[in-house]
Structure 1
Amino acid sequence: MTFEPESLDQSRSGLAEALRNERKRAGLTQTRLARLCNMSQTKISNIEGGKLTPTIVDVELILEAIGAGSPLAAEILALARTANTEWQDLWASRRRGIDKKQNDLAGLESVTTEFRFFLPTMITGLLATPDYVRASLARNPGDMSRTVARKIERQKVLTDPSKFFTFLLTEQAVRWPLASPILMAMQIDRLISVSRIPNVRLGVIPLGTVGPVNETPLSVFTVYDRRLVQVETHTGALILRDHRDVTAYRDDFERYESYALHGDECREHLTEWASRFRS
């Protein structure tokens, strides 16, 4: 899946122009529209000026207030959905510095309360040992020591009692031999330890499980509250903020979770898989 950043930028400017034009056509001032939508006039001004990308809910409120007809409302909502999509390609991240991406994630984690991680291919950084992190970054050029240190530092968020984490891992993700057998065994030991943190729910989906996982193409994704979803691909990450997209991924997550093993049953499988690496 590929996206042209220019088209996303155009959708944002097009959305701002459309909302501005329709507000004027309805004969409303920014102040009057702000009152009708229970927003500040500054927010309306920033939306119409392209300085602030409105959420889908913001756009729905504005369209209702200005009395936009169905065909027009559908067109503007389509613009809003595209404007609320962000594409972060791998090469741009490398040019910027992968350690900078860790700062972005830390900022997002600081304002999120509920996290849902679906991990069908490999173990995420919040659960990883330093050796596993280094192995996962081996193909990246340059010195990765700062990125490794930042990934490990971010793991402190797991002990914040005000936040709640659910991790779902397939057996393939847990057992994929990214590092040497002994390092993989130590990584699985780490998963067992994390599964005992009170505000962490960790589940595994063993191979051969009969359910929707066998029927649906799988992608790594993370749901942050009801705010956004990050879907990872081989060449980058897609950020979705449309509430319909977020709801769809939350529903998928709940379906996958119903087929996962948790608690002692999960730890029994993890212990067995770690033993296989040690032997």
Structure 2
Amino acid sequence: MTFQPEQLGQSKADLAASLRELRKRVGLSQVRLAQRCNMSQTKLSNIETGRVGPNLVDVELILRVLEASPAEVAEVMSLARLANTEWQGKRASWRRGLEKRQAELAGLESEATTLRYFLPAMVTGLLATPEYVKASLSGSPGDKTKTVARKLERQAVLYDSTKTFTFLLTEQAVRWPVIHRAAMAVQVDRLVSLSHLPNVRIGVLPIESVMSRGPMNTFTVYDQRLATVETFTGRIVFQDSRDIAEHLRVFEMYERNALFGEDVRRALTEWANLFRS
């Protein structure tokens, strides 16, 4: 599925209109269709007016009851997938304030119990030293003091034993010199230290790993309900279960090839010493 970011907002209205038109074309009232779909008429009304975004199961059920043609199913399901996807532009985040984005991330982290991070290029803020955090924000406008403080505050979530974290980094992400060499050594030492937390797994994909699927984007999966993908100009939020499942499959493939435990600590210690040399 390909799309332009501006399509994502419009798709919700288009989906609602398409479902409403299909129902009217078949000649069913909202009450009759709701009964056949085993859902309330209020819910169906909210779906058709765009007040409630249906999940893909709801849409598939409605289309099946309406006996939609294969072409209609393909078109409406494409709209449904777009409606379950959100684009968050970086410039919009800047206008709202970087610290607000940190509050949003803290909210996602507080709600989830199983968090998976794939990091092909850089260390994420939850694992970063203060100096690394400051450097990673160098391309953002305005005063970043509050944002740095908020990022560091968020790190407390790592010590919540009710949650489990798995961080998968490529060797490049660990060794990319975001800051000067001595500070990079401290950053790598921090990864070693955090890897000892019982609820935190830190894995690294060595550069010599042979894998057919290249590391394309930074992404995070929160439980099995939400996936976010980072790009240079913003982030995409997926709520479609199939998109989430695909990111989990990719994550598990990389996970099988990563170093963990004492193996990863030995590699990290070697790289930290190279930064010091």
After TM superposition, the score normalised by the length of structure 2 is 0.91
1:69-88 matches, cutoff 5 A: 69-88=69-88
Give the secondary structure class of the aligned counterpart of 1:126: helix
Give the secondary structure class of the aligned counterpart of 1:230: strand
Separation (CA, whole Å) in 1 of partners of 2:233 and 2:274:
32
What residue ranges of structure 1 are gaps of 5+ in the alignment?
A: none
The corresponding residue for 1:170 is: 170
Greater Cα shift, 34-43 or 121-130:
34-43
Q: 1:73/1:191 Cα in 2 relative to 1: closer, same or farther (>3 Å)?
A: same
Please state how far the C-alpha of 1:42 moved relative to its aligned partner. 3.5
Contact 1:85 1:239 in 2 (8 A): yes
Please state how far the C-alpha of 1:171 moved relative to its aligned partner. 0.8
CA displacement 1:184-235 (0-9 Å, x = unmatched): 11211211122122122110011111223xx525211112222222111111
Greater Cα shift, 61-70 or 265-274:
61-70
Contact 1:86 1:238 in 2 (8 A): yes
The corresponding residue for 1:247 is: 245
Contact 1:132 1:187 in 2 (8 A): yes
The corresponding residue for 1:154 is: 154
Q: 1:203/1:79 Cα in 2 relative to 1: closer, same or farther (>3 Å)?
A: same
Give the secondary structure class of the aligned counterpart of 2:50: coil
Separation (CA, whole Å) in 2 of partners of 1:192 and 1:40:
53
Structure 1 vs Structure 2 CA RMSD: 2.1
Please state how far the C-alpha of 1:255 moved relative to its aligned partner. 0.8
Q: What amino acid maps onto 1:149 in structure 2? A: A
Please state how far the C-alpha of 1:13 moved relative to its aligned partner. 0.6
The corresponding residue for 2:51 is: 51
The corresponding residue for 2:128 is: 128
Give the secondary structure class of the aligned counterpart of 1:57: helix
Q: 1:218/1:5 Cα in 2 relative to 1: closer, same or farther (>3 Å)?
A: closer
Please state how far the C-alpha of 1:150 moved relative to its aligned partner. 1.3
Give the secondary structure class of the aligned counterpart of 2:237: strand
Please state how far the C-alpha of 1:4 moved relative to its aligned partner. 4.3
Q: What amino acid maps onto 1:102 in structure 2? A: Q
CA displacement 1:144-164 (0-9 Å, x = unmatched): 111111111222222222222
Separation (CA, whole Å) in 2 of partners of 1:78 and 1:60:
11
Separation (CA, whole Å) in 1 of partners of 2:63 and 2:215:
35
Separation (CA, whole Å) in 2 of partners of 1:31 and 1:162:
44
The corresponding residue for 1:264 is: 262
1:88-99 matches, cutoff 5 A: 88-99=88-99
Aligned residues: 276
Contact 2:120 2:215 in 1 (8 A): no
The corresponding residue for 1:108 is: 108
Please state how far the C-alpha of 1:46 moved relative to its aligned partner. 2.1
What residue ranges of structure 2 are gaps of 5+ in the alignment?
A: none
Greater Cα shift, 34-43 or 99-108:
34-43
CA displacement 1:108-162 (0-9 Å, x = unmatched): 2222222111101000111112211111001222111111111112222222222
Q: What amino acid maps onto 2:55 in structure 1? A: T
The corresponding residue for 2:180 is: 180
Contact 1:3 1:87 in 2 (8 A): no
Separation (CA, whole Å) in 2 of partners of 1:185 and 1:105:
27
Greater Cα shift, 118-127 or 174-183:
174-183
Contact 2:129 2:187 in 1 (8 A): yes
After TM superposition, the score normalised by the length of structure 1 is 0.90
Q: 1:194/1:42 Cα in 2 relative to 1: closer, same or farther (>3 Å)?
A: farther
